[in-house]
Amino acid sequence: MGRIIDGILQGVTFDPARWTGGEIEPDIIILHDTASRLGRGSAARYLKSNDRKVSVHFVIERDGTITQQVRTDRRANHAGTSTYHGRRNCNRFSIGIEMVNPGKMTRRSDDKAQAWFGQTFGIADHGIQEISTPEHGHGLWMPYTEAQIASVIDLCQALFNDIASLRDITTHWYVSPGRKVDPGPLFPLEQLRSIIFGRDEPRDVDAAVDTVLYSAGLEYVQTHTPGDTLNLRRWPSFNPNVIATIPHDTILPVLRRGVFAGRQWVCVLYGGREGWVLASYADPVTFKEASP
């Protein structure tokens, strides 16, 4: 198992953190926002040594620079109170990656967004967007830089290549729902997963996925598989790409629809993951207003 990534992924600096725990065998990678100022090295210095006993394995700056602060076979204190598929205390089996980003912001004026620490950012200058999702709530969000996203992809690929026990990439908001909202909705989580875990789909299916219309979660379906579960698939095909199983009678928000290889598919959100199910097993749901 890799301990220090430098040499596997060139350009990573190792700067050990003060708060490092015992040995772990990581199963998952958890992505975070620093919710900090953007100055290069500012978040990394805090995470290296602080009185809150917080630490993380990797920090990725806005320019894509990567600093490793905890060995990958040692515990870092990055997830706090957390649960992943029934397993509590994710610090015991995860690698934490922090991306420098101010996190969720509020509107200060028509052209300014304000972070929790008081600093304001020009909305147009930083491409900040106002977005609401069930996982993040309502807020203003700063996009991640191309260099950051590229570094996250390279780092995750290096980690999965080097650490045989790794099996998933998830987020702080997924393991700590209702308590954390990072990373923000502008982070391309499913694109990252598709790159790391591989696309088994033909090119025409990939192209078709880009053309279907979004319904913005205004439509819902209910799974219909009595006595069985329904496969949630990364892409709309029967290739080996199942990412979860959904119980019978589960109500799900619809993100988009499409016809692939002559079959109707529905893209839904389940357990914080976006995926595809066969429309023939997903009945439309109509919510009726209660009588006065």
Contacts for 246-249: CB closer than 8 Å, 24+ residues apart? 246/270, 246/277, 247/223, 248/223, 248/224, 249/222, 249/223, 249/224
Per-residue pLDDT at 48 = 97
Per-residue pLDDT at 170 = 94
Per-residue pLDDT at 6 = 61
Q: Where are the domains of the chain?
A: 13-101+144-195, 203-285
CA distance 107 to 124: 13
Per-residue pLDDT at 2 = 53
Per-residue pLDDT at 286 = 72
CA distance 256 to 45: 42
CA distance 83 to 85: 6
| CATH fold for domain 13-101+144-195 | Lysozyme-like (3.40.80)
Per-residue pLDDT at 200 = 43
Q: Which parts of the chain sit beneath pLDDT 50?
A: 1, 200-211, 215-216, 288-292
For domain 203-285, the CATH class is mainly beta
Q: What is the DSSP string of 214-273?
A: EEEEEEEEEE--TTSEEEEESSSSSSS-EEEEEETT-EEEEEEEEEETTEEEEEEEETTE
Cα–Cα separations (whole angstroms), residue 209 to 182, 196, 266: 26, 19, 11
3-state DSSP assignment of residue 29: strand
